[in-house]
């Protein structure tokens, strides 16, 4: 029996060995390497040179662009994450109704989330064009002069906030699955007790869907702090007055435009610590607002 158990374990390890090797080489290795590089001056062409905390000191005391990008990213997370969660829950509640043809509506709202990000970004570049774009032409038909969108420091940031809501259908499907998982007997008991629609929503639906909200909230926070593709394609130089210069864009430029890998590694670890800290705060508070059926 011991020999069979050893052979079974060995077979299992052999089956997962390709994944383990890939994880060690392409994930764990670079992850640990970046810790060392964050304390060095490294430009790829020459060996890393140890500089201690110089990169971190420069980040926090000398680099004004670091603080600008951090502010833009934090502002984006503070605005877009609650909107994404609220809109996702609202859509799920609407699409959870027993109405004829509801499957078609669910499909329509879900489709944008599976369209490639690059294709979506190119589409919005055309839609938001200040002279030939679809939105400004529609506004002109009503006698309203449309804004410059990405060329205006006032509108550029809010343009990306609105764009972040485009793919809310992905989280909406998860909320919808959570709503379908709520036991019907809870609603039946509430109706017998005389609870109205608002009371059922407040005391049954929303509390029972909080585990799904919690999951999507954590994923939305992580995604907001890593927001990169759309702003980098639409405003590669950070937009007017750095209004759309997100943290990940600055990190990318430091690494691949200026080849300052040590400095970029330090920026990556600052971002990692911030995201882990915010995730830990959300995890710490879940006992106060997340309701599990058990």
Q: Give the C-alpha separation, 283 to 213, whole Å.
A: 12
132 part of a folded domain: yes
Most confident of 5-9, 73-77, 163-167, 190-194: 73-77
For residues 80 and 132, the model is more confident at 80
Band of pLDDT at residue 8, cut at 50, 70 and 90: confident
6 part of a folded domain: no
Q: What does pLDDT average to over the chain?
A: 91
pLDDT at 221: 95
100 part of a folded domain: yes
162 part of a folded domain: yes
Q: Give the C-alpha separation, 214 to 88, whole Å.
A: 13
Tokens standing for residue 88: 């996702």
Q: Give the C-alpha separation, 194 to 185, whole Å.
A: 14
Structural domain that includes position 149: 54-289
pLDDT at 293: 67
Question: Is residue 226 within 8 Å of 77, Cβ to Cβ?
Answer: no
pLDDT at 256 exceeding the cut of 80: yes
226 part of a folded domain: yes
What confidence tens digit (pLDDT) does each residue in 151-165 have? Answer: 988 899 999 999 999
pTM of the model: 0.90
What confidence tens digit (pLDDT) does each residue in 39-85 have? Answer: 999 998 889 999 999 999 999 999 999 999 999 999 999 999 999 99
Mean pLDDT of 10-27: 92
Band of pLDDT at residue 15, cut at 50, 70 and 90: very high
CATH of the domain at 150: 1.10.3720.10
The alpha carbon dihedral of 252, 254, 259, 262 has a sign of: negative
Torsion from C-alpha of 232, 236, 241, 247, nearest 10 degrees: 40
227 part of a folded domain: yes
164 part of a folded domain: yes
Q: Give the C-alpha separation, 159 to 235, whole Å.
A: 11
Query: Of all residues in the chain, what percent carry a pLDDT higher than 70?
Result: 99
Residues paired with 40 in a beta bridge: 50
Mean pLDDT of 2-16: 85
Mean pLDDT of 176-185: 90
Mean pLDDT of 229-249: 92
Number of domains in the chain: 1
pLDDT at 253: 94
73 part of a folded domain: yes
Range scoring the smallest mean pLDDT among 75-84, 133-142, 250-259: 133-142
Range scoring the smallest mean pLDDT among 97-101, 173-177, 179-183, 200-204: 97-101
pLDDT at 294 exceeding the cut of 80: no
pLDDT at 141 exceeding the cut of 70: yes
């Amino acid at each position: 029996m011991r020999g069979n158990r050893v052979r079974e374990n060995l077979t299992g390890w052999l089956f997962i060995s390709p994944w383990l090797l890939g994880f060690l080489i392409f994930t764990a290795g670079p992850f640990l390497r970046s810790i060392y590089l964050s304390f060095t001056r490294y430009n790829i062409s020459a060996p890393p040179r140890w500089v201690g905390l110089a990169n971190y000191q420069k980040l926090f005391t000398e680099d004004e662009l670091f603080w600008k990008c951090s502010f833009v990213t934090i502002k984006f997370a503070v605005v877009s994450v609650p909107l994404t969660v609220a809109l996702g829950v609202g859509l799920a509640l609407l699409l959870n109704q027993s109405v004829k043809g509801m499957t078609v509506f669910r499909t329509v709202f879900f489709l944008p989330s599976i369209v490639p990000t690059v294709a979506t970004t190119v589409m919005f570049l055309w839609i938001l064009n200040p002279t030939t774009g679809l939105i400004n032409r529609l506004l002109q038909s009503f006698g309203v002069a449309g804004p410059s969108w990405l060329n205006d420091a006032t509108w550029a940031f809010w343009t990306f906030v609105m764009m972040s809501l485009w793919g809310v259908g992905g989280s909406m499907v998860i909320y919808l699955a959570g709503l379908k998982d709520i036991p019907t007997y809870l609603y039946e008991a509430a109706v017998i007790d005389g609870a109205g629609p608002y009371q059922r929503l407040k005391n049954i639906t929303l509390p029972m869907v909080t585990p799904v909200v919690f999951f999507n909230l954590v994923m939305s926070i992580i995604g907001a702090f890593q927001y990169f593709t759309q702003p980098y394609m639409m405003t590669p130089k950070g937009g007017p007055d750095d209004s759309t210069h997100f943290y990940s864009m600055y990190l990318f430029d430091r690494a691949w435009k200026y080849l300052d890998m040590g400095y970029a590694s330090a920026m990556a670890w600052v971002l990692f610590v911030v995201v882990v800290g915010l995730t830990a705060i959300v995890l710490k508070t879940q006992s106060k607002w997340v309701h599990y059926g058990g």
